[in-house]
Amino acid sequence: MSRIGKYPVNVPAGVDVRVDGVTVVAKGKLGELSASFTDDVSITHEADTVTVAPRRDTPRSRKMWGTARARIANLVIGVSQGFTRKLEISGVGYRAQVRGKDLVLNLGYSHDVVYPIADDLKINCPDQTHIEIFGADKQKVGQAASEIRAFRPPEPYKGKGIKYEGEYILRKEGKKK
């Protein structure tokens, strides 16, 4: 039995959820998101809850049970509250700023790194060393954070680079004399 899949997804006020077979559409104050699932699970919507159950007793159905429930919960949370991912920049001269529809990063290269901001994401820099990514789709927020971090991942000797907020960088000892 799935530990995650057995719990129903509560739908808060202000969010409209529609189930059409294996497609779920959630609409709220932050927009509209939809997801399609395999036919291994059955999705039902009653009043203010969405429940997911496996159609058959196969390993794939049991796997998709928890996955489908988690994705539906992410849809509901995304259109009602949204998701935020925060990044920290450390290093001498490393900084970030938002210019129009682009995030401009100075990361020690001979040129500025320009990252175009997608239409459904909001990126802001409260100061030069912090980046906040906000959006309704959890996957897109995480993907954007991962792409920005990949421009200069944190290195283990001095800890310079872009890291997630709260991420611990395992430090290495330098050369011995």
Neighbours of 31 (CB within 10 A): 14
Q: Which residue has the tokens 């999705």?
A: 43
Calpha distance 91→99 (Å, rounded): 21
Judge whether 169 lies within some domain. no
pLDDT band at 3 (very low <50, low <70, confident <90, very high): confident
pLDDT at 21: 86
pLDDT band at 175 (very low <50, low <70, confident <90, very high): confident
Give per-residue pLDDT as tens, 28-49: 999 999 999 999 999 999 989 9
Residues 13 and 68 in one domain: yes
Q: Is residue 15 pLDDT above 90, yes or no? A: yes
Q: Return mean pLDDT, the chain.
A: 93
**160 is in which domain, residue-wise?**
83-164
Residues 44 and 94 in one domain: no
Task: Give the pTM.
Answer: 0.89
- CATH number of the CATH domain containing 108: 3.90.930.12
Neighbours of 126 (CB within 10 A): 9
DSSP 175: -
Domain count, the chain: 2
Instruction: Report the candidate in 103, 106, 127, 104 with the shortest Cα–Cα distance to residue 117.
Output: 103
pLDDT band at 176 (very low <50, low <70, confident <90, very high): confident
Judge whether 172 lies within some domain. no
pLDDT band at 92 (very low <50, low <70, confident <90, very high): very high
